[in-house]
C-alpha cells in the first residue's frame, strides 16, 4: 500500500442538500488526492432508502461542478470499480455478510422491535441502558442461542432478521488516526451493530467497508462525527482479513461563537448560507440560501473552506486551487474545531472580486442589468465596473452602488441637501457645469483644474458646492471621485442632471 497512488472518496448520502462542512471534507479529499497524484472518487451512499431525498444527488453533482472540484471516478463519471451508487451494488453485499457469519464474526438475530423495546424498558427501570453486546447477546433470539436447524428454518420461512457484528468481549480496539493519533476503545462499550437486513440491504457500516475495500480506497478522510464508527470499521477489516485504509477524521466546523457544530439553523439565524447552492426542499417547499445565489465566487468559497481547519503555517491567506494542492498535507490539519466567520467569508469574496477583471465580472453584472431591464453598452458598462469593483463584496451590490451611472436620479437625499445646498448653490452649479463643458473634447484633468481654480478664486465653500454637484449626479452625497464620474457619464448627461437638481430644489428657472 505504501507505494500505491492514493485513492480517496467522498461518500455522501443523498438525504438533502450538502452541508458546507461536507464540502470541506470533499475539498480536503480532493487536495490530498491531487497533491499525491491520486484519484478522487464520488460514491453515493444511499442504502437507507427511508432517508432518500429526490434531487439531492443531482444537487451534490452540481455543487462540485460549480466549485470546480472534479472527480476522477464515480457517479456521473464512471470508472472501473463501479457502479458507484450503493443501491446499484445491492447484490454484492450479501455474500460478505454471509462470510462474516460463517467465520464467526457475525450472527443472525431475530429479535422483534417489540422485544428489543421491552429489553430497553427493563434496563431503564434499573437505570441502565440496554446494549446488544457480549454481555446480553446470549439471552436474545439469535443464531448463537438457537440451533443451526432452527436458525435455518426461520430464515427459510421468511422471518425478518438482521445480521449483527459480534465483537469479541473486553478487547481494546486501536484506531490509528492521521490527525488524532491513536484512539483506543474497549469492545465492551460497543453494541453489536446491525450490518445487514433481511430485505437485502446492507447498513452503512457494511456497505462502506465493502466498497472502500473493493474500490481500493487507501485513505478515509471524513468528518469527526464518524470517529465513533471507526472502531467497528477497523474490526470489520480485521474480520474480513483485509488491510484497512488509513483514517483521518477532520475537526468539526463550529458556530461563529465556537459553541457547537455549525448547523442549518445558525445560517438562517445569522444570515449566511450553510449550503453551496440554494436548496428547495421537495417536501416542505422551504428554500435555504446557497453560496452561489448569495453572490459568492466559487474560488472564494474553496479558499475560505480550505483554511477552516487547515493552514500551511504561514500568514498567507489567498490561495489558488493549484497552490492549495501544492501545499496541502494532512499533518497541518488542526485537531480542534474551526469557527466559521461570516466576516472572513465576505472578506474572501471581496478579495476574489478584486482579482477578477471587469470582463470576467461581466456575466454577473449583465444578469443584474437584465433583471433591472436597463439597456447598456458593453464598453460603458466595463468602465463602470472598473471604477466600482473595489466597492463590491457581492456582485449583487452593483446596482445599489452604481445604478446612477445608468439611470438619472429622480429623488435627492433630503438629509444631504439640507447639509450641502446653500443659498445660491444652483447658480454656482451652472457655472461649474459651464466650466466642465468648455473643452471640445472633455479633458478630465483640465476640467478639474479649471473648476478648482474657480472655486478657490471666488472663495466658494468647496465641500458644499462639489457635494451639491454630486447630489445632482448620484442622488446623494456619495459615490466615487467626482471628476472620474463626470468623465464616465459625459458632460451632456451631467448637464441634464445638474439642471434637473436645480429645478427640483430651487424650482423652475423661468
Ligand atoms: N455516507 C457517509 C456520510 O454521509 C459517509 C461517511 C464516510 O465517509 O465514511 O457522510
Backbone dihedral angles phi then psi of residue 105, each to the nearest 5 degrees: -100, 0
Rounded to the nearest 10 degrees, the angle between the axes of helix 358-372 and helix 378-388 is: 110
Q: Which atom of ligand 1 is nearest to the CA of 25?
A: 8
Question: What is the residue extent of each domain of the chain?
Answer: 89-207, 361-506
The pLDDT confidence band at residue 507, using thresholds 50, 70 and 90, is confident
Among 177, 173, 204, 199, smallest CA distance to 188 is for: 173
Cα 338 from Cα 255, distance rounded (Å) = 9
Residue pair 254/337 in contact (Cβ under 8 Å)? The answer is: yes
Beta-bridge partners for 164:
107, 194
Unique residue bearing C-alpha cell 435555504: 288
The protein residue with its alpha carbon nearest to ligand 1, atom 5, reads: 11
pLDDT digits (tens, 9 = 90+) for 344-384: 999 999 999 999 999 999 999 999 999 999 999 999 999 99
Query: Ligand 1: which residues within 6 Å by Cβ?
Result: 11-13, 45, 208, 222, 226
Residue 398 exposed, middle or buried by CB count within 10 Å (0-12, 13-18, 19+): buried
Tell me what percent of the residues of the chain surpass a pLDDT of 90.
95
Span 36-52, average pLDDT? 94
Span 40-60, average pLDDT? 94
Among 94, 325, 19, smallest CA distance to 10 is for: 19
Among 493, 347, 368, 473, smallest CA distance to 420 is for: 473
Residue 386 to residues 389, 417, 480, Cα–Cα distance (Å): 6, 29, 12
pLDDT digits (tens, 9 = 90+) for 229-253: 999 999 999 999 999 999 999 999 9
Q: Which of 12, 30, 220 to mutate to test the pocket of ligand 1 (most atoms within 8 A of CB)?
A: 12
Residue pair 56/19 in contact (Cβ under 8 Å)? The answer is: no
Backbone dihedral angles phi then psi of residue 78, each to the nearest 5 degrees: 95, -170
The pLDDT confidence band at residue 269, using thresholds 50, 70 and 90, is confident
Span 125-145, average pLDDT? 96
Span 430-445, average pLDDT? 96
CA of 201 from ligand 1 middle (Å) equals 17
Span 258-284, average pLDDT? 91
DSSP per-residue string spanning 10-70 = E----SSSPPHHHHHHHHHHHHHHHHTT-EEEE-B----GGG--TTHHHHHHHHHHHHT--
Omega cis (within 30) before 83: yes
CA of 131 from ligand 1 middle (Å) equals 24
Residue pair 209/245 in contact (Cβ under 8 Å)? The answer is: no
Grid cell locating 365: 453584472
- State yes or no: pLDDT of 1 exceeds 60: no
CA of 138 from ligand 1 middle (Å) equals 32
Q: Which of 47, 208, 249 to mutate to test the pocket of ligand 1 (most atoms within 8 A of CB)?
A: 208
The pLDDT confidence band at residue 508, using thresholds 50, 70 and 90, is low
Residue pair 169/9 in contact (Cβ under 8 Å)? The answer is: no
Q: What is the pLDDT of residue 510?
A: 43
pLDDT digits (tens, 9 = 90+) for 378-406: 999 999 999 999 999 999 999 999 999 99
The pLDDT confidence band at residue 266, using thresholds 50, 70 and 90, is confident
Q: Which atom of ligand 1 is nearest to the CA of 45?
A: 1
- State yes or no: pLDDT of 283 exceeds 50: yes
| Domain 89-207 identical in fold to domain 361-506 | no
The protein residue with its alpha carbon nearest to ligand 1, atom 10, reads: 12
- State yes or no: pLDDT of 495 exceeds 50: yes
The protein residue with its alpha carbon nearest to ligand 1, atom 3, reads: 12
- State yes or no: pLDDT of 18 exceeds 70: yes
CA of 327 from ligand 1 middle (Å) equals 26
Span 101-130, average pLDDT? 96
**Structural domain 361-506, CATH architecture:** Orthogonal Bundle (1.10)
DSSP per-residue string spanning 286-337 = -EE-BHHHHT--HHHHHHHHHTSSB--SSS-----HHHHHHH--GGGB-SS-
pLDDT digits (tens, 9 = 90+) for 285-301: 999 999 999 999 999 99
Residue pair 63/18 in contact (Cβ under 8 Å)? The answer is: yes
CA of 208 from ligand 1 middle (Å) equals 8
Among 49, 93, 99, smallest CA distance to 211 is for: 93
The pLDDT confidence band at residue 206, using thresholds 50, 70 and 90, is very high
Cα 115 from Cα 121, distance rounded (Å) = 10
Residue pair 94/320 in contact (Cβ under 8 Å)? The answer is: no
Backbone dihedral angles phi then psi of residue 196, each to the nearest 5 degrees: -155, 145
Residue 130: which residues within 8 A CB-CB, separation 6 or more? 116, 119, 120, 122, 123, 124, 136
- State yes or no: pLDDT of 76 exceeds 50: yes
Residue 433: which residues within 8 A CB-CB, separation 6 or more? 491, 494, 495, 498
Tell me what percent of the residues of the chain surpass a pLDDT of 70.
99
- State yes or no: pLDDT of 460 exceeds 60: yes
CA of 437 from ligand 1 middle (Å) equals 68
Among 63, 23, 3, smallest CA distance to 303 is for: 23
Span 33-42, average pLDDT? 98
Cα 213 from Cα 259, distance rounded (Å) = 37
89-207 maps to CATH 3.90.800.10: yes
Q: Which of 74, 210, 222, 228 to mutate to test the pocket of ligand 1 (most atoms within 8 A of CB)?
A: 222
CB neighbour burial string for 235-254, b if at least 16 within 10 angstroms, e if fewer: bbbebbeeebbbbbbbbbbb
Residue pair 71/26 in contact (Cβ under 8 Å)? The answer is: no
Span 217-230, average pLDDT? 97
Q: Which atom of ligand 1 is nearest to the CA of 222?
A: 8
Among 317, 502, 342, 351, smallest CA distance to 427 is for: 502
CA of 134 from ligand 1 middle (Å) equals 27
CA of 488 from ligand 1 middle (Å) equals 54
Residue 50 exposed, middle or buried by CB count within 10 Å (0-12, 13-18, 19+): exposed
Q: Is 496 a catalytic residue?
A: no
Q: Which atom of ligand 1 is nearest to the CA of 229?
A: 9
Q: Which of 27, 45, 46, 234 to mutate to test the pocket of ligand 1 (most atoms within 8 A of CB)?
A: 45
Catalytic one among 264, 339, 419, 496?
264
Residue 53: which residues within 8 A CB-CB, separation 6 or more? 14, 15, 16, 282, 283
Q: Which atom of ligand 1 is nearest to the CA of 220?
A: 8
Unique residue bearing C-alpha cell 497524484: 37
Mean pLDDT score of the chain, rounded to an integer?
A: 96
Amino acid at each position: 500500500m505504501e507505494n500505491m497512488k492514493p485513492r480517496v472518496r467522498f461518500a455522501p448520502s443523498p438525504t438533502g442538500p450538502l452541508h458546507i462542512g461536507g464540502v470541506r471534507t470533499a475539498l480536503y479529499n480532493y487536495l490530498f488526492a491531487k497533491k499525491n497524484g491520486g484519484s478522487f472518487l464520488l460514491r453515493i451512499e444511499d442504502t437507507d432508502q427511508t432517508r432518500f431525498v429526490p434531487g439531492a444527488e443531482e444537487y451534490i453533482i452540481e455543487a462540485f461542478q460549480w466549485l470546480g472540484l472534479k472527480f476522477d471516478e464515480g457517479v456521473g463519471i464512471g470508472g472501473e470499480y463501479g457502479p458507484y451508487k450503493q443501491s446499484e451494488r445491492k447484490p454484492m453485499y450479501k455474500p460478505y455478510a454471509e462470510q462474516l457469519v460463517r467465520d464467526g464474526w457475525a450472527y443472525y438475530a431475530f429479535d422483534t422491535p417489540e422485544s428489543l423495546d421491552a429489553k430497553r424498558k427493563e434496563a431503564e427501570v434499573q437505570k441502565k441502558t440496554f446494549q446488544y453486546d457480549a454481555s446480553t447477546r446470549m439471552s436474545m433470539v439469535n443464531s448463537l442461542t438457537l440451533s443451526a436447524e432452527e436458525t435455518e428454518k426461520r430464515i427459510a420461512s421468511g422471518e425478518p432478521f438482521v445480521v449483527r457484528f459480534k465483537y469479541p468481549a473486553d478487547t481494546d480496539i486501536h484506531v490509528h488516526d492521521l490527525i488524532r493519533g491513536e484512539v483506543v476503545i474497549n469492545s465492551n462499550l460497543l453494541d453489536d451493530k446491525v450490518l445487514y437486513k433481511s430485505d437485502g440491504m446492507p447498513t452503512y457500516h457494511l456497505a462502506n467497508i465493502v466498497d472502500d475495500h473493493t474500490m481500493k480506497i487507501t485513505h478515509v478522510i471524513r468528518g469527526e462525527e464518524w470517529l465513533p464508527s471507526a472502531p467497528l470499521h477497523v474490526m470489520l477489516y480485521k474480520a474480513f482479513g483485509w488491510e484497512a485504509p488509513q483514517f483521518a477524521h477532520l475537526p468539526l466546523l463550529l458556530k461563529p461563537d465556537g459553541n457547537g457544530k455549525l448547523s442549518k439553523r445558525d445560517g438562517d439565524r445569522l444570515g449566511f448560507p450553510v449550503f453551496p447552492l440554494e436548496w428547495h426542499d421537495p417536501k416542505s417547499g422551504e428554500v435555504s440560501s446557497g453560496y452561489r445565489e448569495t453572490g459568492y465566487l466559487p474560488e472564494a468559497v474553496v479558499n475560505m473552506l480550505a483554511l477552516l481547519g487547515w493552514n500551511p503555517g504561514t500568514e498567507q491567506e489567498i490561495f489558488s486551487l493549484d497552490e492549495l494542492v501544492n501545499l496541502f498535507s494532512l499533518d497541518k490539519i488542526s485537531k480542534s474545531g474551526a469557527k466559521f466567520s461570516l466576516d472572513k467569508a465576505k472578506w474572501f469574496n471581496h478579495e476574489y472580486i478584486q482579482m477578477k477583471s471587469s470582463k470576467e465580472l461581466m456575466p454577473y453584472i449583465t444578469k443584474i442589468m437584465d433583471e433591472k431591464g436597463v439597456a447598456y453598452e458593453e464598453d460603458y458598462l466595463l468602465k463602470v465596473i472598473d471604477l466600482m469593483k473595489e466597492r463590491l463584496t457581492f456582485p449583487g451590490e452593483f446596482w445599489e452602488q452604481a445604478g446612477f451611472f445608468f439611470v438619472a436620479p429622480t429623488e435627492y437625499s433630503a438629509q444631504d441637501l439640507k447639509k450641502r445646498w446653500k443659498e445660491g448653490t444652483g447658480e454656482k452649479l451652472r457655472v461649474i457645469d459651464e466650466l466642465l463643458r468648455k473643452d471640445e473634447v472633455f479633458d478630465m484633468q483640465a476640467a478639474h483644474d479649471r473648476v478648482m481654480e474657480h472655486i478657490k478664486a471666488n472663495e466658494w465653500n468647496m465641500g458644499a458646492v462639489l457635494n451639491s454637484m454630486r447630489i445632482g449626479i448620484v442622488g446623494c452625497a456619495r459615490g466615487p471621485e467626482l471628476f472620474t464620474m463626470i468623465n464616465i457619464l459625459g458632460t451632456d448627461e451631467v448637464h441634464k442632471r445638474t439642471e434637473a437638481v436645480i429645478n427640483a430644489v430651487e424650482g423652475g428657472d423661468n
